[in-house]
Amino acid sequence: MWVLLAIAVVVVGFALRLNSMLVVTAAGIVAGLIGGLSPVKILNAFGDGFASSRSVTVFIVTLPVIGLIERYGLQHQARKLISKLTFATTGRLLAIYLLIRQGTAALGLTSIGGPAQAVRPLIHPMAAGAAERRYGKLPEKLQEKIKGFAASADTVGLFFGEDIFVAIGSILLITGFVDATYGLQLEAIDIALWAIPTGICALLIHGARLLYLDRQLDNLAREARAEAKETVK
């Protein structure tokens, strides 16, 4: 039971906003020590874990080309393009992206989006461009809101789309674990089909919130303008 202290280390560390790398390392060491692992075994676990999870860091290979096209005006071009589409508000754009992201993930094309591949170079500049057309130069509050929602459209679309595709990690984990542990023979396609109702709920809930974002941005912009006037007086 004392090993649960390691979870407490994580919770307290994040709550105190300590450096996340240190918190995670400390929690790992605490768990290992209470769990009765020798120091060498703990070091081995750190090494093995790090080596076998290198795949999650591979996104960095996209950075040079994204940096390069940003240098030559990618974001400006995205804004220019979007300023021609007068129907495209920030919320509508992000809602369309949510639909595309979820649909393609459901077909197994999970690598089509992602924060490094799509949100930073394409989706966020377009969303920010649409807002700029409407409000002029964006105050920081609006910028932050748009960034947060741009990232969220990508993540929600991915999570509740990918599970509809049969050969995805989470489904293989379910069938693999359950079949091995309880002697069942589950079909991956059944698990995938039962992801559809939740997928539809996710699309409706987050899509509605993205469309509502336009109204929120209107309010924020109005407040920011009022504040600016106050300070001028």
Partner 1 sequence: MIKVEWFYWLCGIFFVLIALQVLNDRSNPKRIGSAAFWGILGLSFGYGTFVVNKTAPSWILGIAVIGLAVLAGCGFPGKGQERTTTPAERVKFADRFGNKLFLPALVIPVVAALFGAWLAKVKLGDGTPLLQSGSATIIGLGVASLLALAVGVALLRPRSPAVPLHEGRRLLEHIGWAAILPQMLATLGLLFNASGVGKAVGRVTDHLVPKGSLIAAVALYCIGMAVFTIIMGNAFAAFPVMTAAVGWPLLVQQFDGTPAVVFAIGMLAGFCGTLCTPMAANFNIVPAALLEMKDQYGPIKAQIPTAIPLLGCNIAIMYFFAF
Sites for partner 1 among residues 88-117 (CB under 8 A): 104, 107-113, 115-117
Spatial separation of the C-alpha atoms in residues 6 and 13, rounded to whole Å: 11
HSE-CB at 77 with a 13 A cutoff on CA atoms is 8
The residue within the footprint of partner 1, chosen from 12, 20, 215, 218 (CB under 8 A), is: 20
- Please report whether residue 152 would count as binding partner 1 according to CB under 8 A: yes
The residue within the footprint of partner 1, chosen from 93, 138, 191, 220 (CB under 8 A), is: 191
Q: Which of residues 56-85 bind partner 1 (CB under 8 A)?
A: 56-78, 80-81
- Please report whether residue 129 would count as binding partner 1 according to CB under 8 A: no
- Please report whether residue 12 would count as binding partner 1 according to CB under 8 A: no
Spatial separation of the C-alpha atoms in residues 110 and 7, rounded to whole Å: 31
**Smallest distance, Å, CB 193 to partner 1?**
8
| CA 213 to chain CA centroid, nearest Å | 18
CB 128 within 8 A of CB 146: yes
- Please report whether residue 173 would count as binding partner 1 according to CB under 8 A: yes
Of 91 and 229, which CB lies nearer to partner 1 in the complex structure?
Answer: 91
Tokens at 188, concatenated: 């991956």
Of 167 and 232, which CB lies nearer to partner 1 in the complex structure?
Answer: 167
- Please report whether residue 183 would count as binding partner 1 according to CB under 8 A: no
**Smallest distance, Å, CB 151 to partner 1?**
4
CB 125 within 8 A of CB 74: yes
**Owner of token pair 């809101």:** 145
HSE-CB at 49 with a 13 A cutoff on CA atoms is 9
- Please report whether residue 136 would count as binding partner 1 according to CB under 8 A: no
**Smallest distance, Å, CB 142 to partner 1?**
12
Burial 209-223 (b: 16+ CB within 10 A, else e): bbeebbeebeebbee
